[in-house]
Amino acid sequence: MTKNSLLALLLLCSLGGAQSLSIQSAVAKDQTVYYSALPDATVKNVERAVKYAKAKKAEKARPLFDAALAECTDVQKCFALADITEQYGSFCTDIRRAAVEKAFQLSKNRDDLILVALKGRKFECFEATRDAMQAMIAQSRSREELKDLALKAQEVSLSDLSHLAMEKQYSLVHTVPEALDFARLASALGMEDLVRKTCKELIDDENDVHQLMTILRNIEPFKTPDLYRYLLKKSLDNCKNIDDLYEVYQAARRHRQKDIFDLAAFRAKKMKLIDNYNKQSADYREKVERWRQDQSMSQDTGDGDGDITRMAPASGF
Q: Which residues contact 168 (CB under 8 A, 6 or more apart)?
A: 137, 140, 146
Asked if residue 289 belongs to a domain, the reply is no
Asked if residue 287 belongs to a domain, the reply is no
Listed range (15-24, 138-147, 182-191, 223-232) with the worst mean pLDDT:
15-24
Q: Is the model more confident about 306 or about 38? A: 38
Asked if residue 59 belongs to a domain, the reply is yes
How far apart are the C-alpha atoms of 124 and 101, rounded to whole Å? 12
Is the domain of 144 the same as that of 132? no
Phi, psi angle pair for 38, to nearest 5°: -100, 145
Helix (H) / strand (E) containing 253 = helix 242-254
Give residue 316's pLDDT. Answer: 43
How far apart are the C-alpha atoms of 193 and 164, rounded to whole Å? 12
Asked if residue 303 belongs to a domain, the reply is no
How many domains are there within the chain? 3
The yes-or-no verdict on residue 45 having pLDDT over 80 is: no
Is the domain of 234 the same as that of 172? no
Is the domain of 93 the same as that of 43? yes
Is the domain of 84 the same as that of 144? no
113 and 131 in contact (C-beta within 8 Å)? no
Give residue 103's pLDDT. Answer: 94
The yes-or-no verdict on residue 306 having pLDDT over 50 is: no
Domain with 256, as residue range(s), is 206-277
Write the CATH number for 126.
Answer: 1.25.40
Quote the pTM value.
0.72
Asked if residue 26 belongs to a domain, the reply is no
* Long-range contacts of the stretch 64-69 (C-beta < 8 A, 24+): 65/92, 65/95, 66/95, 66/98, 68/38, 68/42, 69/95, 69/98, 69/99, 69/102
Is the domain of 237 the same as that of 159? no
Q: Which residues contact 68 (CB under 8 A, 6 or more apart)?
A: 38, 42, 45, 46, 49, 81
Is the domain of 83 the same as that of 156? no
Q: Strands, E, within 229-315: which ranges?
A: none
Is the domain of 77 the same as that of 121? yes
Give residue 295's pLDDT. Answer: 83
pLDDT tens by residue, 128-150: 999 999 999 999 999 999 999 99
Of 191, 216, 232, the domain-final residue: 191
pLDDT tens by residue, 238-293: 999 999 999 999 999 999 999 998 999 999 898 888 888 888 888 888 888 888 88
pLDDT tens by residue, 152-171: 999 999 999 999 999 999 99
Asked if residue 177 belongs to a domain, the reply is yes
Buried b (16+ CB within 10 A) or exposed e, 280-304: eeeeeeeeeeeeeeeeeeeeeeeee
The yes-or-no verdict on residue 38 having pLDDT over 80 is: no
Is the domain of 57 the same as that of 122? yes
How far apart are the C-alpha atoms of 85 and 69, rounded to whole Å? 11
Asked if residue 293 belongs to a domain, the reply is no
Helices 258-311, 242-254: inter-axial angle, 10-degree rounding: 170
Is the domain of 130 the same as that of 101? yes
Give residue 88's pLDDT. Answer: 77
Asked if residue 220 belongs to a domain, the reply is yes
Is the domain of 222 the same as that of 243? yes
